[in-house]
């Protein structure tokens, strides 16, 4: 469903991606852990088509229409209401927003409020709704748990679980090993643009993965 082959990309003298290759199949969730500056965001941007890699290829089945992105920025317009935002973004993908989506995220009562009037937790939920409005088959997540409160974090985890169960693919990058491990089917450690570890999770818990990560990165 999602494939990267020999990705290389530098910003000036800084090598952000150094020969990265992997495949993510339907139903798999790849968690990429790495310190800041390892190249994780660049990797996601290349997968999403936002950056053209200097070498190598990234392929997502279904193209941009199949991709949903959740980052630490909500990508919403503050002066528009929740509904207006969802309708606008949906129109770019050719799908009208469904009431069911709002319900799943507990946003029905806020549907006609302007986004800038919402609390941070609510804004995050709207951002998630925005990413899912076109029912994407691939989810790309860039530090999605940043700043989420308990409830929102649990809701997101639940959602990602449902997404994977429905046979979709997910790539999640974060420097927080605890939050990402439980959701992952495959785990990778990234440092200086390379995967220094890439293997199925195989039942390893967050503690164990965290330990291996610290050893690999230190």
Partner 1 sequence: MRMLRAGRWISGVALALLAGVYVRVLAYTPVEASQGLAQKIFYLHVPAAIWAETAMVLVGLASIVYLFTKDPRLDRFAASSAEVGTIFCVIVLTTGPIWGKPIWGTWWTWDARLTLTLFLFLLYVGYLLLRSAVVDPATRARYAAVLGICGMCEVPFIHLSVYMFPTLHPMPIILQPGRPKLPGSMLTTWLLSLGVFTLFYVGFVVQRYALSYLREQLEAAAGAGGIGHA
Partner 2 sequence: MPLPDLLRHSWALAAKDLRIEFRSRTAILSAVVFVVLAFVVFNFGRDPTAVPNVALAPSILWVTFTLAAILALNRAFNLELENQAFDGLLLAPIDRSSIYLGKLIANLVFVATFELIGVPLLILFFNLRLLPYLGPLALLIGLATLGFVAVGTLFSAMTVRTRFAELLLPVLLLPFMILPLSWGVQATVRLLAGRPLSEIAGWLNMLAVYDVVFVALALLLFPATVTE
- Given the rule CB under 8 A, which residues bind partner 1? 11-17, 36-42, 192-193
Q: Distance between the two ends of the chain, CA-based, in angstroms?
A: 33
Closer residue to partner 1, CB minimum distance, 14 or 103: 14
Binding residues for partner 2 restricted to 80-109, rule: CB under 8 A = 80, 84, 88-89, 91-93
Which DSSP letter does residue 198 get?
E
Give start and end residues of each alpha helix (H) in 68-175. Answer: 82-93, 99-104, 120-132, 150-165
Q: Spell out, one character per residue from 114 to 133, where the chain touches partner 2: x when CB under 8 A holds, - when not.
A: ----------------x---
- Which of 14, 25, 55, 64 touches partner 2 by CB under 8 A? 64
Tell me if 8 contacts partner 2 by CB under 8 A.
no
Q: CA-to-CA distance for 112 and 123, rounded, in angstroms?
A: 13
Q: Give yes or no for residue 213 binding partner 2 (CB under 8 A).
A: no
Q: How far apart are CA 148 and CA 180, in angstroms?
A: 14
Q: Computed from CA positions of residues 127, 193, 37, 157, in that sequence, does the dihedral angle turn out positive or negative?
A: positive
**69: contact with partner 2 by CB under 8 A:** yes
Q: Using CB distances below 5 to 8 A depending on partner kind, what does residue 48 bind out of partner 1, partner 2, none?
A: partner 2
Question: 204 is written with which tokens?
Answer: 């390893």
Out of 32, 48, 156, 187, point to the residue binding partner 2 (CB under 8 A). Answer: 48
Counted residue by residue, the chain has a size of 218
Tokens describing residue 173: 């990058």
User: Where on the chain is the footprint of partner 2 (CB under 8 A)?
Assistant: 45, 48-52, 63-65, 67, 69, 71, 73-80, 84, 88-89, 91-93, 130
């Amino acid at each position: 469903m999602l494939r990267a082959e020999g990705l290389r990309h530098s910003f000036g003298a800084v090598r952000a991606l150094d020969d990265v290759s992997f495949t993510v199949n339907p139903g798999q969730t790849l968690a990429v852990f790495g310190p800041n500056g390892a190249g994780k965001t660049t990797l996601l941007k290349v997968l999403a088509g936002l950056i053209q890699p200097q070498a190598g290829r990234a392929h997502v089945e279904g193209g941009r229409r199949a991709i949903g992105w959740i980052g630490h920025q909500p990508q919403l317009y503050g002066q528009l209401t929740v509904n207006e935002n969802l309708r606008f973004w949906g129109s770019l993908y050719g799908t009208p927003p469904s009431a069911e989506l709002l319900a799943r995220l507990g946003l029905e009562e806020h549907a006609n409020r302007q986004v800038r009037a919402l609390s941070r937790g609510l804004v995050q939920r709207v951002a998630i709704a925005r990413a899912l409005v076109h029912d994407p088959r691939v989810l790309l997540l860039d530090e999605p748990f940043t700043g989420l409160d308990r409830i929102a974090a649990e809701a997101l985890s639940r959602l990602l679980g449902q997404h994977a169960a429905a046979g979709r693919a997910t790539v999640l990058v974060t420097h927080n090993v605890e939050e990402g491990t439980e959701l992952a089917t495959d785990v990778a450690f990234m440092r200086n643009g390379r995967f220094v570890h890439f293997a199925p999770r195989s039942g390893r818990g967050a503690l164990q993965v965290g330990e291996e990560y610290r050893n690999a990165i230190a």
